[in-house]
Structure 1
Amino acid sequence: MNQIKMQVTINLMIKSETAHRAWATLRPVALCLLLGSVPALAHAQGAPAAQAPASGYSTSTSSSAVAGAQNELYNASGQNGAQPTQDSFHGSVVTGKATDGVLDLSLDDAIQRGLRQNLGLILQTSSQKSANGQRLEELQELLPTVRAATSIEVQQVNLASYGISFPGVPAIIGPFQVVDFRAFLTQNLVNVSALKNYLAAKHNFQGAKFTAEDARDLVALTVGNAYLLCIADAARIEAVTAELATSKVSLDQAVAAHDAGTSPKLDVLRAQVDYQNEQQTLISAKNSLEKDKLALARTIGLPLEQVFRLTDLVPFQALDHVDPETAFQQALKTRKDLKAYSEQVESAAASKKAAWAYQLPVARFSGDYGDIGTTPGHSHGTFTATGEVSAPVLQIAKTRGQEEVAGAQYEQARAKLSDQVQQVNQDVRDSLLDIQSAAKLVESTHSNVELANEALSEAQQRFHAGVSDNLPVSQAQSQTEQANDQYISALYQHNVAKLSLARALGVAQSNYKDYLGGK
């Protein structure tokens, strides 16, 4: 605690000229800090954000992009079956057991595992099966229904109990038996409402299929984001390790200068504080990596005790200029969630017609044929055939109410589709803006890293030559750490922005390699 107070006191005693030079060096870093914190991809209000790492570099923008995409899929899922929640895509179904040794995990391996075991995708697939089951139920109303029954009835009748008495006729008749083997057939000949209900269920099933395909894109985005975050953590550890080595050199210089009598004890204390701060930062960075690796394992269904290492680096690769309007037109053709919304509109339209058709007559045929007698060997065939036409007479309020409910659902479905088209347009343009901004940040922060390293080297040389104390060295080390943090953050944001563009275009699952590039 005394060392920390001494550090603060020394900082307060910096001359104005030194402070001016320090601000000139830190100014680009400060700008990067401001720019890097703008959550430009946060287009879904109320969506849960991913946990930010403890290392200090910004990931809020990319986390909002993933949460927004999850929210879109959640809204497009309809009402059938076991729906995935917005957090389901961060879970998985674990298969197998952890193996000995270290598992090499590439980005492609991680995404393929996620496409097999991610919980959100599994729930969405179950929802698709549920929608297909409802479609088959509605289809049965249009198909013949045949059932069979077999009965054996044994009776003994007391005629006296019914007040029946005839001379020469026994009061007790029986026991006697009747054996009946019979098949029953029912068929709706004309039922417009049943036909429209089937069409509505059919469109719901098609919408569920498109939503399940869209969920595969979201899995690629979620897993890719988790993998890129681990890469950023690993880069952060590498940078802090290098900074720790530099702090150790500065500490050794301060100790040597103090032992030689050319430097005060204050320089040694300041260097020790810097060195210990780097040690603490390294501990925090390693902890963040391990926690983010656990989150990645949860997303792709790896046992949490499985030890693995990342094999892909995904370095910076600039993306060629993409025209927003051209990209938007492409997204209109490839986004599966838009197709799912379109199917919901068609389903609502069919339901609206079904509600109106409930007032129409329904024609049915029913019949049965069987063999009846005292025993199977003493029986005879019998049948019944019935044709029926029924129509509602007085249910005006019910029919009108059903029409209004179905009409309101149809208008809601149309409004959601229209809004989703604009959401896709925004997704594309947001991603392109984030790519451009992140690319500029990568260039700026990379330059800052080079300048900060040069400034640190110059400060160390001046201290070693005895021209100045080690306060400029301490400041230069802090600037280098900030520059490295922002450079790592910019690389992460650029890669996730490109992955978000692939998601916005509806090609994240199939073309993510084209957007991330590199090994």
Structure 2
Amino acid sequence: MRATLPLVLALLTVTGCSMIPDYETPDRPVPVTIGQDTDDAADPILPDWQHLFPDPHLRALVESALTNNRDLELALLDVAEARALYGIERSALAPEFNVNADGTRQRLPADLSGNGNSTISSQYSVGLGMAAYELDLFGRVRSLSESALQTYLGTEEAARSARITLISEVANAYLLLLADQQKLAISEETLKAQQASAELVQRRYRAGLSSELAVRQAEIALETARTNRASFRRQVALDRNALSVLIGGPVPEIPKTRVMEPAVALLSEVPESLSASVLTRRPDIRRAEHALRAANASIGAARAAFFPAITLTGSAGTASADLSGLFDGGSGAWSFSPGIRVPIFNAGRLEANLDVAEIRSEKAVIDYEKAIQTAFQEVADGLAARRYLRQQERAQAALVRASQRSLNLAEIRFDSGADDYLAVLDARRELLNARQALVEVKRQKLTNRITLYRALGGGEGATAES
């Protein structure tokens, strides 16, 4: 035992070689700048979501979602599962020791004892045993451990991505609810105006100043306004239901805030030209790179499988035929069983495993490049949309003002008898559509800011665990 123990310890401390290929991050298959092509592409740091949203109602909704959303809970459980699996793989790097205590009593009949008499024998033992431990001479176990580590890190990034997406979805759902509430308020204002107009036309008809056709047109406009109001009431109810699912509970009463800046949302202005390096902050890009590293490590494990595998099994303790003599002098016992497994013939299984690992690594490279391209498009689309939404908002606001003037003129001409009531109806309908469209453009403008927040990987606090 004295001669064997140093040999065992020496073997346990052997540092094996690694078969993992050298890792190189693939080149980004996108232009070096996003947005306008300038020489001063920026690399901005966004604020965390608490500073992004000054609206206390929205912050409360996000906090509720981060606590109660079921999809986020599943993502966090995926992280915990991957962490545990990594612990299992990493444990294989160290030998496993167990304390074993055994006792056996056996009776042999006379015809089997060899001396013509039946015998009863006993054997007891206590020892420290080492299970079959693989010496990682060629890095197979370390490669599997590295692959599990990268998989675990990838699930962490996936959870961060789910968190950022959830924050964005809650903000967008909140903006949609506010916009539809504002549209509902506009439809109610229109309904009141149509009711007043219908009463006016009715009085003019009784006085012989209007035709029955004008009365019927006013009634049609009034019922149309009621229909629009019911439609927006339904949409507001659906918006609240969708928001309820996101936050994992009932939606509190939300004031009928107008969709205006900065009362509802505030996001630091992103420069018109960005460096493509900002994409590497996105959790989905980091997750794709961890997947690439995991696939790369799997190649090392597949390569190491071609080489011999050495395992060690041993135990040391005491043994005796009597339980009372288990710890007496001279009762020491030990065993040491090294083993080696050399692959000779496996019908091409090892080669096929290596081919699979290399193909998966190539697929991981493509997935990484595709993720970079998708991220580039999302940020570029957000920057382009921001520019044109500003123009659209200005034009739509001008259209509302022009429609309001047109309605005023139409009402004056109708009151003076210079025009029929159809002109008033057309002008009021155009004003209603213009006001609703302006609310929608403002919502899209704010939604675009949220989209840029998500597309750029969230703010400083977006990746913190809830």
TM-score scaled by length of structure 1: 0.73
What is the Cα deviation at residue 388 of structure 1?
Answer: 3.0
Q: Contact 1:216 / 1:509 at 8 angstroms: preserved in 2?
A: no
Listed one character per residue, the Cα deviations across residues 290-327 of structure 1 (whole Å, up to 9, x for unaligned) are 11101101111113xx6522476451469887445415
Aligned twin of 1:498: 449
Aligned equivalents of 1:366, 1:438: Cα separation in 2: 71
In the other structure, the counterpart of 1:376 is: 323
2:227 is paired with a residue of what secondary structure? helix
1:1-22: CA deviation from partner (whole Å, max 9, x where unpaired): xxxxxxxxxxxxxxxxxxxxxx
The separation in 2 between residues aligned to 1:235 and 1:325, in whole angstroms, is: 34
Q: Deviations over 1:49-92 (max 9, x none)?
A: xxxxxxxxxxxxxxxxxxxxxxxxxxxxxxxxxxxxxxxxxxxx
Map of 1:346-495 to 2, 5 A cutoff? 346-379=293-326, 380-395=331-346, 397-495=348-446
Q: 1:310 to 1:283 in 2, by over 3 A?
A: same
Query: Aligned letter for 2:178?
Result: I
The 8 Å contact of residues 217 and 509 in structure 1, kept in 2 or not, is answered as: no
Shift of 1:178: 2.6
- Distance in 2 (CA, whole Å) between partners of 1:329 and 1:194 is 34
Q: Give 1:209's aligned residue.
A: 156
Q: Conserved in 1, the CA contact under 8 Å of 2:75 and 2:162?
A: yes
Matched with 1:6 is none
Aligned partner (choices 99, 107, 124) of residue 179 of structure 1: 124
Q: Is 1:190–1:364's contact at 8 Å kept on the other side of the alignment? A: no
Instruction: Check 1:285–1:453 CA distance in 2 against 1; reply closer, same or farther (3 A cut).
Output: same
Query: What is residue 24 of structure 2 aligned with on the other side?
Result: none
For 2:430 and 2:259, locate their aligned partners in 1 and report how far apart those are by CA, in whole Å: 26
SS of aligned partner of 1:326 = strand
Q: Aligned to 1:188, which of 131, 134, 142? A: 134
User: Partner letter of residue 254 of structure 2?
Assistant: R
**Residue of structure 2 equivalent to 1:150:** 101
| 2:146 counterpart residue number | 199
SS of equivalent residue, structure 1 residue 296: helix
Q: Quote the residue 2:222 is aligned against.
A: 275
Q: Report the residue type matching 2:276 in the other structure.
A: F
Aligned position for 2:209? 262
In the alignment, the residues of structure 2 paired with residue 165 and residue 401 of structure 1 have an alpha-carbon distance, to the nearest angstrom, of 56
Tell me how large the CA RMSD over aligned residues is. Answer: 2.3
SS for the counterpart of 1:155 is: strand
Unaligned runs of 5+ residues in structure 2 are 1-54
Mean Cα deviation higher: 412-421 or 439-448: 439-448
Deviation at 1:122, TM superposition (A): 1.4
Q: 2:419 is paired with a residue of what secondary structure?
A: coil
Q: Which is worse superposed, 452-461 or 283-292?
A: 452-461
Q: Aligned pair in 2 of structure 1 residues 193, 127: CA closer, same or farther (>3 Å)?
A: same
| Distance in 1 between residues matched to 2:385 and 2:63, nearest whole Å | 27
Distance 2:86 2:278 in 1: 31
CA distance in 1 between counterparts of 2:268 and 2:402 reads 28
Tell me the distance in 1 between the aligned counterparts of 2:114 and 2:196: 123
> For residues 365 and 506 of structure 1, what CA distance do their matches in structure 2 show?
48
Instruction: Quickly say closer, same or farther: Cα 1:320–1:219, change in 2 above 3 A.
Output: closer
Is contact 2:390–2:445 with CA below 8 Å preserved after alignment?
Answer: yes
Long gaps (5+) in structure 1: 1-103, 513-519
Name the counterpart of 1:113.
64
Residue 331 of structure 1 aligns with an amino acid whose one-letter code is L
Residue identity in the other structure for 2:185: E
SS of the residue 1:150 aligns to: strand
Give, in whole Å, the separation in 2 of the partners of 1:509 and 1:280. Answer: 46
Q: Does 1:326 align with 2:274?
A: yes
Supply the distance in 1 between the matched residues of 2:156 and 2:91 (Cα, whole angstroms).
21
Deviation, 1:110, is 1.2
Whether the 8 Å contact between 2:79 and 2:156 is mirrored in structure 1 is: yes
Do structure 1's residue 138 and structure 2's residue 89 form an aligned pair?
A: yes
Distance change (3 Å), C-alpha of 1:426 and 1:406: same
Residue 452 of structure 1 deviates from its aligned partner by 1.2
TM-score by length of 2: 0.80
> CA offset at residue 389 of structure 1?
3.4
Distance 1:329 1:165, change over 3 A: closer
Kept after mapping to 2: 8 A contact 1:438/1:490? yes
- Offset of 1:397 from its aligned partner? 0.9
* 8 Å Cα contact 1:328-1:505 kept in structure 2: no
SS of residue paired to 1:308:
coil
Amino acid at match of 2:94: L
Offset, 1:180? 2.5
Please give the secondary structure, in 1, of the residue aligned with 2:424: helix
Give the C-alpha shift of residue 124 in structure 1.
Answer: 1.3
Question: Which residue is equivalent to 1:308?
Answer: 253
